[in-house]
Chains A and B, each alone.
Chain A
Amino acid sequence: MLVTRTLRYRYPGAGPEFRFPDLAVAATEPTLLLGPSGSGKSTWLHLLAGVLTPTAGSSVLEGTDYAQLKGGALDRFRGRNIGLVLQRPYFLEALTVEENLAIARRTAGLAADRDLIRSTLAQLGIARYAGQRPRRLSVGEQQRVTIARALVNRPHLILADEPTSALDNRNAARVSALLRQRAAELGAALVVVTHDERLRGDFPAVVELQPLPNPETS
């Protein structure tokens, strides 16, 4: 369960203050944050991910207000509890798919559980790529690897940033289903940030963001 209250953020220096709607995301109710570019989607996502620290407000996940955490404590919390599906498929390119998942567990302070990694890959239908470099996979397969990496620590919150923007209809629908299905299995809250209207019908809760009057930063 993720609950946020009066989240605000202002970039260092000048610029508008972002005010984000309050959220309450239960594991049973995956939420879509929909908005055009320049509406502060990425900022919101990074606040929820604990990558940015809000200037005001709280974000509570399973009883911990991680808006108050700093430094190493925040890093650890993020690694343990939040699975991030990034917009761009970033990988540790020197490592294989399996090792990419292993390092995700290690940086979160968890043991690299080989069986868990294998089964996670299998659930996403990419077990056969375990020994390959991620760069050699197709875009869709790479997307699955980033999803697998977000799931492998069994997080309480799964955040996906434009997970379908690079995919065709068929694949977009698949990824959307996959995310909701896995989140439900893990009992994790799922928040998807996107401008992809195709996903609207898949999610029981949709929060729409309006573009800021002065969209300097996205």
Chain B
Amino acid sequence: MSIFSLALRNLLYRPWTTALSLILAALGAGLISLILLLNWQLEQQFDRNLAGIDLVIGAKGSPLQLMMSSMYHISSPTGNVPLERVKPFLNPQHPYIELGVPLSLGDSYQGRRIVGTRPGFLQLYDAQVADGTMWKEVMDVVAGATAARELGLQLGDTFRSSHGLIEDDDLTHRDAPEFRIVGILAPTGTVADLVLLTPTESLWAVHDTHDHEAGEEQHAAEPYDVTAPLTRYTDESITSVLVRFKGNSITALNMQRSINENTEMQAVTPSIQLAELYATVGQGEAVLRQLGYVVVSVSILSIFIGLYSSLDRRRGELALLRSLGAGPAKLFGLLLLEGTITAVAGAIIGLLVSHFGMLLIARYFSDAYRYDFQALVFLPEEGWLLLGALVVGAIAAAVPALRAANTDVHRTLSGG
């Protein structure tokens, strides 16, 4: 029967008061931890997938939408741009551009996006082919690690794509040629894991079959060569170009402005878009965070009231403990323990609940957006949260504990 177990028994002896305090502490800690986790996850996902991309060039429309569709593969693309217009950005000899990666979006297979591109895409995300080989022909597919795992794709598997980004049997390109898996990427922790990569020409080939009947002859004359630069084609179109610059960001800003002002296309600087996005999300987050602080204050109050109101009933007990040889410091410690145990236990429950919530959110995100959130990551901030709970419990218990320590043994025991 140590002071610690006595504190524990006292808490269990008044279960409703303790439960209320626990729930409030858990709510406060859980809310704050959930905000921390979500924030961390979002920034982690967004920042990791920045991949040094300085500029996204595509059709006019919402800049956020262009960035989201081309970089994060969330939401629909803004439209297509003629290949002719973006050729300069795909030129490897461009003086300012280190890497220009063309993207053709809009088709999917069982909810996983098919991205028509050039091998530069792998370079952008530091991706390596782990199994099989890089594509050599039209309709060859190199699958991202997660996509391959979740779709159960093996080397040599074939499939038909469907039009659009949702899983819909009616939209399957039935007459189109089949895609064939020739390679699977090693995991990178970026969006490269989530998509199915294929040469740009594959998407043209799929759409040739039904878009324009005359296409066959045209391409008979000009067969696709997936190893040649994309710039050799003339009257095709793609969705966007991801650009990484050689030098500083002044070039990026100038080029962005000139594209936006002088062409039918738009150029978006991801870092600026992200900052704006964070600012928007941040407002909601600030509200939630303040709500969290309010709940924490209420939980301090609840612990305080719980302990303080128990003092009257426990005056005899406390005097008894003193008469049995427990010093004032022990009584102070007893009440302090009761406060901190409640706060810390509540915080631990809150963290568990928030991680469980994170698990659900992660599941939702992975279903809806194919993004993988890690629900079981514990952030260093959460350690601080527990430490904070300790402080909060001590603050809440300080005054009752002081009163307990000052129990007048003689007066209490003689019934005064």
Q: Which residues of A pack against B, CB within 8 Å?
A: 42-43, 46, 49, 51-52, 71-72, 75-76, 78-80, 84, 86-88, 90-95, 99, 102-104, 106-109, 112, 149, 161, 218
A42 contacts B414, CB within 8 Å? yes
Interface residues of B in 277-334 (CB under 8 A from A): 316-317, 319-327, 330
B317 contacts A103, CB within 8 Å? no
Task: Let me know if B415 is at the binding interface, CB within 8 A.
Answer: yes
Query: In the complex, A170→B209 CA distance in Å?
Result: 109
Q: How many residues does chain B have at the interface if contact means C-beta atoms less than 8 Å apart?
A: 24
| Interface residues as binary, B385-416 with A (CB distance below 8 Å gives 1, 0 otherwise) | 00000000000000000000000011001110
A92 contacts B6, CB within 8 Å? yes
B320 contacts A91, CB within 8 Å? yes
Contacts of A51 in B (CB 8 A): 322-323, 409-410, 413
A103 contacts B410, CB within 8 Å? no
Secondary structure class of chain B's binding surface, majority of residues: helix
Contacts of B327 in A (CB 8 A): 71-72, 75
A94 contacts B12, CB within 8 Å? yes
Task: Let me know if B254 is at the binding interface, CB within 8 A.
Answer: no
Given contacts A92-B321, A104-B324, contact A46 B330 (CB under 8 A): no
Query: In the complex, A52→B413 CA distance in Å?
Result: 11
* 9 A-B residue pairs with CB within 8 Å: A52-B410, A79-B326, A87-B413, A90-B319, A90-B320, A93-B317, A103-B1, A103-B6, A108-B324
B133 nearest CB across to chain A (Å): 71
Query: In the complex, A106→B319 CA distance in Å?
Result: 16
Contacts of A87 in B (CB 8 A): 413-415
B3 nearest CB across to chain A (Å): 8
Residue of A nearest to B315 (CB): A90
A95 contacts B1, CB within 8 Å? yes
Contacts of A94 in B (CB 8 A): 6, 9-10, 12-13
B415 contacts A75, CB within 8 Å? no
Query: In the complex, A92→B334 CA distance in Å?
Result: 13
A78 contacts B413, CB within 8 Å? no
A107 contacts B413, CB within 8 Å? no
Q: Which 10 residue pairs across A and B have the least CB separation, nearest first?
A: A79-B325, A94-B13, A42-B414, A94-B9, A90-B316, A90-B320, A102-B1, A107-B326, A103-B1, A107-B324
Contacts of B10 in A (CB 8 A): 92, 94
Query: In the complex, A161→B9 CA distance in Å?
Result: 28
Contacts of A46 in B (CB 8 A): 409-410, 413-414
Contacts of B93 in A (CB 8 A): none
B327 nearest CB across to chain A (Å): 5
Given contacts A46-B414, A51-B409, A88-B415, contact A95 B6 (CB under 8 A): yes
Query: In the complex, A92→B321 CA distance in Å?
Result: 8
Given contacts A42-B414, A51-B410, A99-B1, contact A75 B322 (CB under 8 A): yes
Query: In the complex, A16→B271 CA distance in Å?
Result: 83
| Interface residues as binary, B1-39 with A (CB distance below 8 Å gives 1, 0 otherwise) | 110001001101100000000000000000000000000
Contacts of A106 in B (CB 8 A): 1-2
B325 contacts A109, CB within 8 Å? yes
Residue of A nearest to B330 (CB): A107
Contacts of A161 in B (CB 8 A): 413
Contacts of B316 in A (CB 8 A): 88, 90
Query: In the complex, A103→B318 CA distance in Å?
Result: 12
Query: In the complex, A149→B330 CA distance in Å?
Result: 19
Contacts of B13 in A (CB 8 A): 93-94
